[in-house]
Chain A
Amino acid sequence: TMLGVVTTDALVNSDVWRKMVQVAVNRSFNQITVDGDTSTNDTVIALASGLSGASRISSVNCNEAMQLQACLDAVMQGLAKSIAWDGEGATCLIEVTVIGADSEVESAKIARAVASSSLVKAAVYGRDPNWGRIACAAGYAGISFDLNKLRIMLGDILLMDGGQPLPFDRVAASNYLKKAGEIHGTVTIHISVGDGPGNGRAWGCDLSYDYVKINAEYTT
């Protein structure tokens, strides 16, 4: 289960605040995954006191609303990433960025499919730069794209381009994963699926033996 409480002293109308919060949730908490289990209790409550003295925000289509939305997105993304970073048994955070789909929603869906893949997660834990599993997860996300435009980078190592697997330094790629695991850092997977305007990100973590151990013991 994830729970969140977010507070602000901005002055904002109820309908505007409720829309902004859902947008921020979709760009943050709804883009993380540890084990693919959607909890019975997931909740984010967001409260705005209006005590900052700033002017009232009464529409989502104004500069002030965009400034507040950006802050709200940042706080929720910071918290959401810390949840994925602290996934049970995790040794590193996995950040998946997808560009080139037709919309933000489509890119986000591909990114989350990759971040949710047990095979990708286990490959990261095994320090295996397994581009095939990344491509496979992108392919089953339910978003169509031209395979010949598929490009995959692990960190700054290019693994696939134009849909073709490339020769790459496997030891360097594996060491990149090993180092991230040693410092509980971040593994970045960057995927391009075409020339569309949509960009999206998702966050997850690697899948270790400890995840099974923790959950075999944490019983009802």
Chain B
Amino acid sequence: VSSSLKEASKYIPAAPILLPEGPWKQIPGGVTAAEGFNAAGIFGGLRAKGEKPDLALVTCDVDAISAGAFTTNVVAAAPVIYCKKALNISKTARAVLINAGQANAATGDAGYQDVVECANTVAMLLKMKPEEVLIESTGVVGQRIKKDALLNSLPRLVNSLSSSAEGADSAAVAITTTDLVRKSVAVESQVGGKIIRVGGMAKGSGMIHPNMA
């Protein structure tokens, strides 16, 4: 698993991260730098072509306090609608599943059912409640996700989860579309005299003018 994550994380170079100055120290690990988080990115056969990793999962060992910001585009994608409902039902979450290749946007009721089925399958594999699994999708607008390929890849994705930096970096690759670099960063700082860590990953290169709320 470790070697495949390492291979996946090296698929594209890391973006230069221009962090503002402040009382923090940059540390490796992206989304897995903070205590309790695991991640993985694998090739699930979702992209139109090539073998770049295209399926990522981030999990937390405990019920994590959750928050979300979502596009205000009226034609919101199925995963956006699903996540807003999930965050209204539950204040905590345990997992985020992200697929690249198809955006599952403008896909109607069938697209929404695809999201529900993916969340239910991840929840079953990880022994969580479905509303604790959040979903993000990116890729071609108007196309439904390649659900069979995605569902068949989930056991391998779950088995690849790792709290290592490679886990975070492989996930940062798997969420990209036309990006030329993977975007991942983590910092360590003090809050109330105790060390805390904040980390993250992102993707984006085109169709970029976010207005999230």
A and B: real partners? Answer: yes
Chain A residues near B (Cβ < 8 Å)? 1-10, 12-14, 17-18, 20-22, 25, 29-30, 32-55, 57, 63-64, 67-68, 70-88, 93, 116, 186, 211, 214-215, 218, 220
Contact present for A33 and B66 (CB under 8 Å): no
Cβ B65 vs Cβ A17 within 8 A: yes
Query: Are B187 and A17 within 8 A (Cβ)?
Result: no
Stretch at the interface among B2-10, B67-75, B116-124, B147-155: B67-75
Pair B207/A5 contact, Cβ less than 8 Å:
no
CA of A48 to CA of B36 in the docked complex: distance in angstroms?
9
- Tell which of B16, B177, B180 has the most Cβ of chain A within 10 Å: B16
Which residues of the partner chain B approach A14 to less than 8 Å between Cβ atoms? Answer: 65-67, 91-92
Q: When chains A and B are docked, how far (Å) is the Cα of A78 from the Cα of B202?
A: 10
Considering the complex, give the chain B residue whose CB is closest to the CB of A25.
B69
Chain B, residue nearest A53 (CB): B194
Q: For the complex, is B165 an interface residue (Cβ under 8 Å from A)?
A: no
Known A-B contacts A44-B212, A47-B65; A83 and B202 likewise in contact (beta carbons under 8 Å): yes
* B51 adjacent to chain A (CB < 8 Å): no
- Please list the residues of chain B having a beta carbon within 8 angstroms of any beta carbon in chain A: 15-20, 22-24, 31-37, 58, 60-62, 64-73, 75-77, 79-80, 83, 91-93, 96, 98, 103-106, 134, 136-143, 171, 175, 177-181, 183-187, 189-192, 194-213
Q: Residue of A at shortest CB range from B31? A: A7
What's the dominant secondary structure at chain A's contact region?
A: mixed
CB distance from A49 to the nearest CB of B (A): 4
Q: A35-B206, A41-B71, A49-B34 are in contact. Are A1 and B103 (CB under 8 A)?
A: yes
Contact A220 B143 (CB under 8 A): yes
Tell whether, in the assembled complex, residue A13 and residue B65 are in contact, meaning their CB atoms are under 8 Å apart: yes
Instruction: Give the Cβ gap from A101 to chain B, nearest Cβ, in Å.
Output: 19
Known: A4-B200, A77-B20. A41 touches B194 (CB 8 A): no
CB distance from A15 to the nearest CB of B (A): 9
Taking CB atoms, residues of chain A closer than 8 Å to B15 are: 82, 85-86
